[in-house]
Amino acid sequence: MRPSLLTLVTVLVIGLFSACSKIGKFNNPGADVHLCNIEKFFLTNYDHTTGLPGAPVEYNILYDAKGNPVEIKQAGTSTGYLSRFTFDKKGKMTVYRLDNFRSLTDSTIIFIHHYYNAPDGRLIVDTVYNLPSPGFPIIPPFDKLVLDEKERVIRDSGFYSRNPAILDDLVDYNYNANGNLASVIDEIFPTLNTTYPLYDDKVNYRQTNRAWQLIDKNYSWNNRLDPAGLYHITGYNAFGLPREIAYTPTPPDYNNVGVFLLYSPYIYNTLNFQYACDAPVSPGK
């Protein structure tokens, strides 16, 4: 459905969205992204052979002085997955890159997303591949994104080829009055349509940084609840952010894994977050 591997072409371009922005609806109305950035997350994969969860895998997120993510790297190992992020001088994300690395000098590029503005004002996500790992989804080589007045992605047009540009997929993102993603409607592949009727009254973890919202194309204020019980939040921190999200072990839905679960290309069990605001902050710091 979404084919084609492209050879590496590196073009750094100007993008949209600053990762540094105010967070809304915290218990503390003065909280901003520097206070509650995600510092670490932990993934526990479910072994479908034994039926038992594996050991948690830790990933650390490094930020620059402006609160923009610089890299996500697996802890305690010389191999694993590594994400890198590039921002321009205005704090707008221009590159999101995922590598599968075996050492500091040996790594395979899984994909690179370049973000820039087209002449018509649309945001372009230009994707380049080099030998993606098995299990990772292959998406069209470039997407044109339409934003609403709140700078949320509300339409994603995916193109199969560049010259001529052949439309491969067309997806609409619809939000409800509470600012939560209500449905994702695929106009070409309607079997992929998804609705999200239920949310909690807490803070969505993507609200901690605009980069996570742009990558996931999800700007929801609150956290999705699953009436089927396959996905549920088991705890929050003092600011109303999810501490742990548990999944009933099922084959992963790659349309909804998001930036953090993308590191778990197997059947997953839990996703845990550690935030900068979890530890007490000394006065004056």
Query: Using one digit for the tens of pLDDT, what is the confidence trace for 246-277?
Result: 876 554 444 445 677 766 544 557 889 999 99
Residues in the chain: 285
Domain membership of residue 170 (yes or no) is yes
Residue-number span of the structural domain to which 69 is assigned: 33-278
Domain membership of residue 20 (yes or no) is no
Alpha-carbon radius of gyration of the chain: 19
Domain count across the chain: 1
Supply the pLDDT for residue 240. Answer: 92
Domain membership of residue 285 (yes or no) is no
Q: Please answer whether residues 147 and 123 qualify as being in contact, where contact means their C-beta atoms are separated by less than 8 angstroms.
A: yes
Residue 32 pLDDT greater than 60, yes or no: no
Supply the pLDDT for residue 160. Answer: 76
State the chain's mean pLDDT as an integer.
75
Report the pLDDT averaged over residues 86-93: 88
Query: Using one digit for the tens of pLDDT, what is the confidence trace for 111-126?
Result: 788 898 877 777 888 8
Domain membership of residue 128 (yes or no) is yes
Domain membership of residue 260 (yes or no) is yes
Contacts of residues 185-190 at CB distance under 8 Å and 24 or more positions apart, as own/partner, are: 189/1
Domain membership of residue 18 (yes or no) is no
Instruction: Supply the DSSP symbol for 235.
Output: E
Q: How far apart are the first and last CA of the chain?
A: 51
Residue 47 sits at the vertex; the CA angle it makes with 46 and 50, to the nearest 5 degrees, is: 130
The more confident residue out of 158 and 258 is 158
Q: Please answer whether residues 141 and 124 qualify as being in contact, where contact means their C-beta atoms are separated by less than 8 angstroms.
A: no
Domain membership of residue 23 (yes or no) is no
Domain membership of residue 248 (yes or no) is yes
Return the structure tokens found at 105: 């000098």
Rounded to two decimals, the pTM is 0.78
Q: Residue 85, class by beta-carbon neighbours within 10 Å (0-12 exposed, 13-18 middle, 19+ buried)? A: buried
